[in-house]
Amino acid sequence: MQRNLPSVELGGRRGARGPLDEGRIALLAGDFERAGRLADSILSSEPEHLEAWILKGRSLVCRYDPTAALDCYEHALAIHPGSTEAWRRKAFAHRLAGETEDAIAAWGRAIEIDPDDRRALMDMGAALDELGDYTGAISCYERVLAIDPDDRLARESIQLNERILSRLEQAATHGGRR
């Protein structure tokens, strides 16, 4: 589904759009193939263009091709190993591919680079939930609250995980009986 988006302010000039901006707009509009083609057009002349590799990876994730997206994020990280965006997006592609442990490792790398990366912390917490590491998930959510004490989702996630841990402890103590 494609949407018409309003003209936006880009690069200081109204309506001035290059292929990267057009690709981002295409991605937002749901035209994932066009976004990928625009990224490819940039990469054909600038193979070390970090943002074009990330755009191409995003377009591939949106087309449910996490393996090809991971290759794009590897290219991006070879260009700039400190790109938290590339690490976060790589983590998401791993998760889409069912590789939760690899996703957690990639989010961990993003957090090493930027300890205040709330998105990476929240996503890593959710992945740890999925693996049943409720204590690890709580730790991620608590770090988010240390950054933003008003983050309601982090607070609710902590409460949910604490209830799960409490029930698991009760089940272990009472042999599964209440």
Give the amino acid at 166: S
pLDDT at 6 over 60: no
Q: How far apart are CA 105 and CA 6, in angstroms?
A: 38
Q: How far apart are CA 75 and CA 94, in angstroms?
A: 15
Sequence-separated contacts (24+) of 134-138 with Cβ below 8 Å: 134/161, 134/164, 134/165, 134/168, 135/161, 135/165, 137/161, 138/162, 138/165
pLDDT at site 15: 55
Contact criterion met (CB below 8 Å) for 79 and 50: yes
Q: How far apart are CA 131 and CA 158, in angstroms?
A: 16
Residue that is written with structure tokens 């759009």 in the block: 17
Domain residue extents for the chain: 19-97, 115-172
* pLDDT, tens only, 137-168: 999 999 999 999 999 999 999 999 999 999 99
* pLDDT, tens only, 41-76: 999 999 999 999 999 999 999 999 999 999 999 999
26 pLDDT band (50/70/90 cuts)?
very high
Please provide the CATH number assigned to the domain covering 19-97.
Answer: 1.25.40.10
Tokens of 152: 């309601």
Contact criterion met (CB below 8 Å) for 107 and 122: no
**Strands 9-10 and 13-14, sheet pairing:** antiparallel
pLDDT at 16 over 60: no
* pLDDT, tens only, 75-98: 999 999 999 999 999 999 999 999
pLDDT at site 173: 87
* pLDDT, tens only, 116-143: 999 999 999 999 999 999 999 999 999 9
2 pLDDT band (50/70/90 cuts)?
very low
- Judged by average pLDDT, the poorest of 9-18, 52-61, 101-110, 163-172 is 9-18
Q: With H, G, I as helix, E, B as strand and everything else as coil, classify residue 7.
A: coil
Q: How far apart are CA 93 and CA 6, in angstroms?
A: 29
